[in-house]
A and B are shown apart, each in its own frame.
Chain A
Amino acid sequence: MKRFSGWTLASPATLLVVIFLVLPVLATIATTFMTPAGPFATYTSFFGSGFRRTVLWRTIQISAITTIISLVIGFITAFVVSRAPGWLKSILIIAAVFPLLTGVVVRSFAWLIILGKNGILNSTLLSLGLISEPATMLYTQGAVIVAMVYLFVPLMILTLAGVLESIPDDLIQASASLGARPVATFMQVIFPLAVPGLIVGAVLVFTGSFTAYATPQLLGGEAQMVMGTLMYQQAMVTFDWVSASTIAAIMVVITIAVVLLMTRIARRLNPMAV
C-alpha cells in the first residue's frame, strides 16, 4: 500500500517558507549589493551618516539595557515563582502569561497613558508635591526602555521559571547543609545551573528589542528613532527601498551574530547546554 513519504507531507510548509520567506529576504539583502554605485555603496553611506550611526548605537544601547534589566528582574521573580506553592505558582504564571498574550500595541499604549504630560505618573508626582511642573517623560530613551522591559519581563519569567523549577530542591538543601550561606548557594549552585536559560532569555529579549517597531514608535517617536522605526520611515515615508533594505540587512546580520555568539558562550559556560 502506498503511503505518503516524509517529503510529500513536509513539502507544502517547506515551499511556503522557501518561496515567501527565504527568497524574498535573500532578494532584499541581495539588492543592497547591486546598486550602480558599487557593491558596498549603501553600507558606506549608512555608516558614513552620523545620524544613522547614532540610530544604530541608540538601538544597541536600548536593547542592551532592556536585556540586562529584564534578566535581573526576570531571574529574581522566576526564582520566587519556581519556589512558590502550587496554587500561588499557577496564579503567578497566569499573571505573567496574560500580558504576554496581550498585544504589543495595547501594552505600549498603557505606558502612553502612564508617562504622558498629563499622565498618571505626572499627576501623582504633582499632587505629592515632588515636582512643580509636569516632567517630560514621553519620547525619551527612558520611556522606550521602561516599556520594552514591560514587554519582555513576562517572557523572561516564563523562560526562567521552567529552568529554575528543574533544579531539584535537594541540591539547594545539600548546599545549605554543607554550610554554604544562601548567597553562596545562589551564586555557586543555582546561578550556574540557570545559565542556559539566562542565555536563551537574553537572546530573545535582545533580538526582540533590537528589531522592535511599535513600542519605540509610540514611546520614542522621532526623537528616539531606532533601527525598526528608521527602517519603516525609509520604506513607507520616504520610499527609499534601497536604504530600507540596507537597514534590514544590518538587522538580520546583527540578529544572527547575537544568536551565534550567545550559543557559543552557552556552550563554553555549560558543556551540557545546547
Chain B
Amino acid sequence: MTNKLHPALIAFTVLVFFFLVGPLVIVIGSALSDTTYLTFPPQGLSLRWFENIFQISAFRRTIITSLQIAFLSTFIALLIGIPAAYALNRYRIQLPGWLSTLFILPVLVPELVLGFSILKNVAAQFSAPIFLSLVIGHSLLVLPYVVRVISASLASFDFSIEEAAISLGSPPLKTFFTILLPNVRSGVIAAFILSFITSINDVSISIFMTGPGISTLPIQILAHMEQFFDPTVASVSVLLMALTVAVMAVVERTLGLTFLAK
C-alpha cells in the first residue's frame, strides 16, 4: 500500500512534519545564541543563557514550586485515582454509569473556568493558601489521566488471580500491593509521567493562583517575556524539552508511545 501513496501526499506530509519540528529547532538554536536578543540562526555559541536562568531568583523559585506541585498533585491523583479506576473496573455493575464521566470532568470543563472557580470559591472564599490551591487544581487536572491510564491497564488484568489470592487468605491490602499493583506497574509509571508533565506545563489553572513570592514556572516564563526578549526563555524552553524527551523515553519503555495515539 505504501508505494501507492501519491507523491503529493508524501510531499505534504514532509512539509507538515517540518512545520511541527522546525519551530522547536529554532527555539533550541536561539537558546544557544551568544547575543543579548533572540535570534536564529544563533550568532556565536554560548551556554550563558542557561546559566542566566539560575541567576534569576524568580526562575529558581518557580522551578522548585513547579516541581513540588507536580510531584504532590501527581501523588495525590495516583493515591485516589488508582482505587477509583480499580472500582470502576471491578465493581462496574455496583457503581452508577455517570461516575466514570465525573472523573473525566476536569478535561471537559475549560481549564480557565476551573482555575478561576477554585480561585473565587475556594482560595478567596476560605482564604486557602495559594500553594494548597495550586495542589488542588493540579490534582484535579491530572486525575483524568491517572484514571484513564490505570483503567486501560486494568482492562487486561484477570481479576480471578486476585480472587484466588483472597480465597487463599490474603488480606485485601496485601493483595493490592502484591497482586494488583505489580500487574499494573507500567500503567502506574505511565500515569505518573503523563500527570507530571501535564502539571509542569499547565498555564490555564496556575495563571489564577499567583501571589507574593509564589508562582509556577510557565507563569514566570510568561511574566519574563513581558519584560525581556532575551534568550533566557529559549533556554528554559530547552530544559522543558529535555524533560519531555525523558518522559517520552519512559513512556516508550512502559506502554509504548502508540498508546498515546489511542
Contacts and interface: CB of A to CB of B under 8 A. Distances in A.
A10 B240 contact: no
Contact of A97 (B13, B79, B99, B248): B248
A52 interface: no
B108 interface: yes
A223 interface: no
B56 interface: no
Interface residue range, chain B: 35 or more
B241 A113 contact: no
Interface in A173-199: 173, 182
Interface residues of B: mostly helix, strand, loop or mixed?
helix
Given A76-B9, A248-B112, A83 B2 contact: yes
A258 to B, nearest CB: 11
Interface stretch (A36-44, A86-94, A126-134, A261-269): A86-94
Interface in B1-31: 1-2, 5-6, 9-10, 12-13, 16-17, 19-21, 23-24, 26-27, 30
Contact of B237 (A109, A161, A244): A109
A12 B84 contact: yes
B120 interface: yes
A120 B241 contact: no
Given A5-B91, A16-B80, A217 B110 contact: no
A103 B218 contact: yes
Given A3-B172, A248-B116, A13 B84 contact: yes
Contacts of B39: 118
Interface of A: 1-7, 9-10, 12-14, 16-18, 20-25, 27-28, 73, 76-77, 79-81, 83-85, 90, 92-107, 109-114, 116, 118, 120, 150, 153-154, 157-159, 161-162, 169, 172-173, 182, 207, 210-211, 213-214, 217-218, 228, 231-232, 235-236, 241, 244-245, 248, 251-252, 255-256, 259
16 contacts: A4-B172, A7-B94, A10-B83, A12-B79, A13-B103, A21-B109, A22-B102, A27-B121, A28-B113, A76-B16, A80-B10, A92-B17, A109-B233, A116-B38, A235-B116, A252-B113
Given A85-B2, A157-B16, 11 more contacts: A1-B166, A83-B2, A83-B5, A97-B260, A100-B260, A109-B233, A118-B37, A182-B6, A213-B203, A236-B207, A241-B120
